[in-house]
Amino acid sequence: MPGLAGYEAVPRYAEFIYRLLGKDVEFVPPGIILEIDRAEWAFLKRERRWTTGVIQIAASVGNVGRVQVLNPIGSDRIVVVQGCKVIQKTTLGKIRLGIDAAAAATPTPNIGLDTRGTIDLLGQVSVASKNLISNANPTISGYIIEDFTAQANSDAASLVLPAEAEVVTPGHNLTAFNTTVNELFTCVMWGYERPARPEEINA
């Protein structure tokens, strides 16, 4: 099999091209842009698209609701959070997004969005990232990187995270807080994950 010149340092790209075009290909044909491409190609690059699914957090007196996306310690993956949408909030108010907020509870695997993946014990397509929830305290923690206003009793506009999507390395999280206490809160977050090279995590 001939080598695919120029991709020695990023073998997952070469693997994708071989699987897409065949083992004898020697160059990437014009018109294929490796990072602006079709959703179904992500799987061939070992990227796994995911969603938290729609998560509803009950009202709790004196406390705020939150949804957290976690990249677990030891995952050896880079998790990218691309967006967050509030589906239900009873009153007009702020939603804040924070990096490395205090740990929430009830870790649940995120749901893979490509059915070619491995099915886990919950019957879902398996990914490494998880989602957690909490309505047990009034504190908004972490480094706040964005806030936006959700309308009362209606869908908020989808929010694509500020400037660039948020990159979450192992042991870190991104959390969406409803800043209104004692209120039902429903939202969904989504993105993708992929294998990480050691130098990407430890640089």
Contact yes or no for 133/106 (Cβ under 8 A) = yes
Average pLDDT on 19-30 reads 80
The pLDDT value recorded for residue 122 is 67
Q: Specify burial of residue 152 (Cβ count, 10 A radius: 0-12, 13-18, 19+).
A: exposed
The pTM of this model reads: 0.80
Best CA proximity match to 129, nearest among 145, 159, 154, 107: 107
Element (H, E) at 94: strand 93-99
The pLDDT value recorded for residue 156 is 58
What's the whole-number average pLDDT of the chain? 86
